[in-house]
Amino acid sequence: MELFRVTGGTPLVGEVTVSGAKNSVLKLMAASLLVEGRTVLTNVPRILDVTIMSEVLRRLGCEAALEGDTLTIDVPAVPGTEADYNLVRRMRASINVLGPLLARRGEVRVPHPGGDAIGSRGLDYHIAGLERMGAEITSEHGFVVARASRLHGARIWLDFPSVGATENILMAAVLAKGTTVIDNAAREPDIVDICSMLKEMGAEISGAGTSTLEIEGVEELRPVTHRTVPDRIVSGTWAFAAAITQGDIIVRRGEPRHLEIALDKLNQAGAHIDLLDPMQPGEGFRVRMDRRPKAVDIVTLPYPGFATDMLPMAITLGAVADGPSMVTENVFDARFMFINEMLRLGADVRTDGHHAVVRGKTWLSGAPVKATDIRAGVGLVIAGLRADGVTEVADAFHIDRGYPDFLSQMRGLGATIERIKVEDDEFPAV
């Protein structure tokens, strides 16, 4: 097992550069299945999830090679129709091969997905939407099995603006016959990025970035070269890290327009936030905190609300803030698993349903903890920087799934941190 060992007491100061969004690039990789030929994605983060998704594509008959930040995907004329069971169970985003393969091949077998332990995330919306488009879908031996001679357009209402369901239905609809309308669609920048790439491929889509997407199916698409949108969750993580550690971080290529509520909360907490170039917001921004942060209440909501992926950072901010705060989680029912680990660091947090009351302390106390998901792992590392002594965060692989060059970036900001391998029995049970 590998863990991060963090010594507290050092504010993070310096610069980081944000690469492409994990939550976008994995879906762009799935979208490449819609067309034969070579798709090229640039600004790709070097993270474990990209490695896993590349292998998912290879086992479907594709070739995938990452050089630098450029990923080249060669899709055959007849890609496979069964996604690898063990790979899909490791990463939920791989369920997004369902829509493209169904539209392209007329049949697909995809295992029920795994991924982060953050709560129930069923496929009901995915399945209901595709069934409205003419698919016959069953569950067999741990697989979702979908068939359709050709999908047709339909009007689909999502009871909740599910990102994954919006993406799967969208990618299936671009090759369906007729018009598909998705009401209450997700609005995340990642959705807009997928729409942009699909339109470059020849898809006819309107409404990207709004709650209503309209897709007119086309007969065929063409492969393209596409640049991935910057990762707003990574950008937001560094912004919160600056505030939590009372540091000063320049976040290059961070897009503040994708983080308006998160940055506003940091401003309320006392942080100074400046755009690197007010005329070019995509150049990045700077976050400075020269005192202990003030407590602020935070509520997670679908975009453009405060992102659920940022909840661990919100809890950590509250844990070291001056005063009490309330953090409310409205998206995933098990996000608060992270709080159990924060309690080991001495945080004062009480939960009631989907609410957490956090009473801030000047300092936390270092202890062995365990990452339960990508964002929780990073939240615990950042918390360790505001803890007396040493904090060891086990299951470092979670952080690898979403944060490229994490160790070097942390060290570049002045953190005292190392990554070490230990035998499982060397790490206390937590």
Q: What is the pLDDT along the chain (430 residues), one digit of tens a residue?
A: 899 999 999 999 999 999 999 999 999 999 999 999 999 999 999 999 999 999 999 999 999 999 999 999 999 999 999 998 888 877 767 789 999 999 999 999 998 775 444 344 468 899 999 999 999 999 888 888 999 989 999 999 999 999 999 999 999 999 999 999 999 999 999 999 999 999 999 999 999 999 999 999 999 999 999 999 999 999 999 999 999 999 999 999 999 999 999 999 999 999 999 999 988 878 999 999 999 999 999 999 999 999 999 999 999 999 999 999 999 999 877 788 899 999 999 999 999 999 999 999 999 999 999 999 999 999 999 999 999 999 999 999 999 999 999 999 999 999 999 999 987 665 544 4
Contacts of 143 (CB under 8 A, 6+ apart): 82, 85, 109, 110, 111, 112
Q: Which of 75, 20, 78 is nearest to 49 (CA)?
A: 20
Binding-site sequence positions = 22-23, 92, 309, 331
CB 111 within 8 A of CB 366: no
Q: Which two tokens stand for residue 219?
A: 């007969």
Give residue 112's pLDDT.
79
**Distance from C-alpha of 347 to C-alpha of 22, rounded to nearest angstrom:** 29
CB 209 within 8 A of CB 187: yes
Contacts of 69 (CB under 8 A, 6+ apart): 19, 20, 42, 43, 44, 45, 46
Fold of 2-18+230-426: UDP-n-acetylglucosamine1-carboxyvinyl-transferase; Chain (3.65.10)
Give residue 425's pLDDT.
60
Question: At which residue do the structure tokens 């080991």 appear?
Answer: 344
Binding-site sequence positions for UDP-N-acetyl-alpha-D-glucosamine = 92, 309, 331
Parts of the chain belonging to CATH 3.65.10.10: 2-18+230-426, 22-225
pLDDT tens figures, 269-324: 999 999 999 888 789 999 999 999 999 999 999 999 999 999 999 999 999 999 99
Q: Which two tokens stand for residue 185?
A: 């669609």
Q: Which two tokens stand for residue 306?
A: 């405060």
Give residue 281's pLDDT.
78
**Distance from C-alpha of 323 to C-alpha of 361, rounded to nearest angstrom:** 8
- CA 334, distance to chain mean position in Å, is 16
Give residue 118's pLDDT.
39
Within 209-299, strands assigned E span 212-216, 225-227, 248-252, 272-275, 284-288, 298-299
Q: Which of 44, 46, 77 is nearest to 60 (CA)?
A: 77
Find the Cα–Cα–Cα–Cα dihedral 281, 286, 287, 288, rounded to 10°.
-150
- CA 396, distance to chain mean position in Å, is 17
CB 80 within 8 A of CB 87: no
DSSP, collapsed to helix, strand or coil, labels residue 105 as helix
CB 33 within 8 A of CB 60: yes
Of 49, 84, 116, 400, the active-site residue reads 116
Check the CA dihedral 110-114-115-120 and report its sign. positive
Annotation says 116 is catalytic: yes
Question: At which residue do the structure tokens 């896993």 appear?
Answer: 52
Beta bridge partners of 336: none
pLDDT tens figures, 26-85: 999 999 999 999 999 999 999 999 999 999 999 999 999 999 999 999 999 999 999 988
Give residue 20's pLDDT.
97
* Pairing assessment for the beta strands 225-227 and 37-42 based on DSSP bridges: parallel
Q: Which of 22, 307, 27, 42 is nearest to 194 (CA)?
A: 27
Q: Which two tokens stand for residue 204?
A: 């006819």
3-state helix, strand, coil in the chain (%, to 5): 35, 30, 35
Q: Say what the pTM is.
A: 0.94
**Distance from C-alpha of 57 to C-alpha of 30, rounded to nearest angstrom:** 8
Give residue 216's pLDDT.
98
Binding-site sequence positions for phosphoenolpyruvate = 22-23
- Output phi, psi for 237, to 5 deg: -60, -45
Asked if the 22-225 domain carries CATH number 3.65.10.10, the reply is yes
Q: Which one-letter DSSP state was computed for residue 29?
A: H
